[in-house]
Amino acid sequence: MTIRDLTPGNIDAAAALWHRAGLTRSWNSPGLDAQRALDGDTSTVLGAFDDERLVGTVMVGHDGHRGWVHYLAVDEGQRGTGLGKRMMAAAENWLRTHGVVKVQLMVRAGNDSVLGFYEHLGYEDASVQVRSKWLVQPTS
């Protein structure tokens, strides 16, 4: 198993994994999200490869101070193996090497089953609310 930056050739596989993991929404293009992360100077998508098969991902980026993690996904056949923990460690290491001092993530309301995973890794409730505003209205 190797963990490395995705390439544009891996975007379709990543989007398919995110869809199978239930991370996608109809109004948001996961492929476009991946491309933006790969094109950015302060972001990437890390992938775990079993030979050449993509079995895990994590999107990571930063604003110079705070890091963000998105799209942590592990293929169903690899769940329970510690791969999610390895992907988060890889994301945290990527952020450290870029001088980031804090990492944050968001968990959608109702996705309570994942909270225990993050708590086990040392993530805690930051007692903040996330607010959003659509700059372009979603089509679905």
CA dist 83 → 37, 110, 111 (Å): 21, 23, 19
Task: Give tens-digit pLDDT for 81-123.
Answer: 999 999 999 999 999 999 999 999 998 888 888 999 999 999 9
Q: Which residue has the higher pLDDT, 55 or 130?
A: 55
Q: Which residue has the higher pLDDT, 54 or 65?
A: 54
For 116, the token pair is 């225990």
Alpha-carbon gap, residue 73 to 69, rounded angstroms = 11
132 torsion bin: left (phi>0), alpha (psi -120 to 50), beta (else): beta
Domains present along the chain, CATH in parentheses: 2-120 (3.40.630.30)
Task: Give tens-digit pLDDT for 21-61.
Answer: 999 999 999 999 999 999 999 999 999 999 999 999 999 99
pLDDT at 134: 85
pLDDT at 140: 65
* pTM recorded for the entire structure: 0.92
